[in-house]
Chain A
């Protein structure tokens, strides 16, 4: 039977494809409906946070940092509650990572603050002696790409029904609305308003001035993103 296949390349190819496609079907398909449901309290990213997430991806922070807290006592002690599937409902792409050269960041918003990130991103080893994380100085001058973040918000709202501008149930029974601009101009203004709140707690005068002048440096966006990781 096999020797016959080896003389009939087309049949051979068909058998190979059936053999390899089978596993994927069984493993992956059954979970699609079930896994994407958000847990209560999970909200989509604001425009500025999403722009920060793009900065995170652009610089491949996920090469060193995971965002997945495994259910071990040692991990929940260090990083907080273990991860739940529904908490990732708005993560496209997922950013679990596969290497922890640096610590997990899934809930870093709970135990680090704006000013700390500012010092740390500028020069990690000055805050954490012995750190091998690179300094990200250019984030203090590069501008964040708010437009692309907004384009992505529009896309996910349209295609995947991500609930922008809708009340979202929170853990304490209240609801929360994450707003999305109705056009680019409004999105930019909203992001700037959010950026001003972050810049308030920052020390770098150039960044403060830039924000005051209506610009949003990447560092502000990425801090907004990290502060939002709970």
Chain B
């Protein structure tokens, strides 16, 4: 075998092996195996095949011509003209090239008239089929995803969708979004008491009044600044410390003695519940920390899962 071909094989193999290993390593680094990432997606396989074909074909075709440079000699009849000393042979076109050209032309005509005639293919149709297949597959699996597994699924949603705002550990990234390891902070409670809240946290529009609608039954008067400070800290600290009396007198009617909320009346404010998270995802909210967008492109199971995950964080 010619030394050149050996080099060709080395180059082609080296490139493909390098690609393969880096894919394994990089994808592996992110905690998933390559086969897991690639599985069931013909597009991945085609891209790899294309990449391989590219290296192999170019390498060996070029080697073929380099060998001709090494071993062959130029000859043929020259054309009559010569331009600045440049001549042209009247050689025939290389056969391999001509055949390939004709084949691709025929293939093109076939493709366009018989293979995939105009309007026979619709990318949206293909999309709809893919989505349907995906959905049927996972609808079946969803039924078995509960408990710990549901939390795990929720974590996967969180890492793909939520961590850009809430951070990898859900700590809220220096207060730019809510810290989800903890139900709520003092600042937010205070803000809600001052301004009220109406973000369908219960699923439908049941508003919480602002301070002008919040009576402290202990004092028989509207809630005061000092009381707001106290009760905010109390709620944010997980219902401990001073302010218990204000809470009992003002908030408990709706949020319950223990702050765990009442159905159709007020949400749980001592712990996250899956339903609260789901409602937030359905409607979004604007609080003192900032805006939390609604996430309508998640499906119900995904919302349920991420709800379970967030609930698990503060337990």
Contacts and interface: CB of A to CB of B under 8 A. Distances in A.
Q: Do A and B come from one complex?
A: yes
Interface of A: 71-73, 76-77, 80, 82, 110-116, 119, 126-129, 201
B127 A73 contact: yes
A198 B75 CA distance: 76
A201 B127 contact: no
B124 interface: yes
A229 B248 CA distance: 45
B283 to A, nearest CB: 13
B127 A116 contact: no
Interface stretch (B66-74, B179-187, B228-236, B292-300): B292-300
Interface in B32-74: none
Contacts of B176: 115-116, 119, 127
Interface in B178-197: none
Given A116-B177, A119-B176, A126-B174, 20 more contacts: A71-B124, A71-B127, A72-B127, A73-B131, A76-B127, A80-B297, A110-B294, A110-B296, A111-B293, A113-B290, A113-B292, A114-B290, A115-B290, A116-B290, A126-B173, A127-B164, A127-B165, A127-B173, A129-B168, A201-B291
Contacts of A77: 297
A103 B152 CA distance: 25
Contacts of B292: 113
Residue from B123, B291, B292, B296 with most neighbouring chain A CB atoms (10 Å): B291
Residue from A80, A113, A201 with most neighbouring chain B CB atoms (10 Å): A113
Interface in B103-131: 123-124, 126-127, 130-131
A128 B290 contact: no
Nearest to B291: A113
A189 B307 CA distance: 44
A111 B281 CA distance: 10
B286 interface: yes
A113 B123 CA distance: 32
A116 B130 contact: no
Interface string B259-296: 00000000000000000000000000010011111111
Interface in B140-179: 161, 164-165, 168, 173-174, 176-177
B291 to A, nearest CB: 3
Contacts of B297: 76-77, 80, 110-111
A73 B134 contact: yes
12 contacts: A71-B126, A73-B130, A77-B297, A111-B297, A116-B177, A116-B290, A116-B291, A126-B174, A127-B165, A127-B176, A201-B290, A201-B291
Contacts of B173: 126-127
A161 B78 CA distance: 63
Given A73-B130, A119-B176, A201-B286, A110 B293 contact: yes
A129 B293 CA distance: 20
Contacts of B134: 73
Nearest to B135: A73
A116 B296 contact: no
Residue from B174, B176, B296 with most neighbouring chain A CB atoms (10 Å): B176
A105 to B, nearest CB: 14
A187 B130 CA distance: 47
Nearest to B290: A115
Contacts of A116: 165, 176-177, 290-291
Contacts of B291: 113-116, 201
Contacts of B127: 71-73, 76, 82
Contacts of B131: 73, 76
A81 to B, nearest CB: 8
A203 to B, nearest CB: 8
Nearest to B298: A77
A71 B126 CA distance: 9
A114 B131 CA distance: 32
A129 B168 CA distance: 9
Residue from A112, A116, A126 with most neighbouring chain B CB atoms (10 Å): A116
Which 3 pairs show the lowest CB-CB distances between chains A and B?
Answer: A113-B291, A115-B290, A71-B127
A72 B164 contact: no
Contacts of A115: 176, 289-291
A72 B290 contact: no
Residue from A71, A112, A114 with most neighbouring chain B CB atoms (10 Å): A71
A72 B127 CA distance: 6
Interface string B213-225: 0000000000000
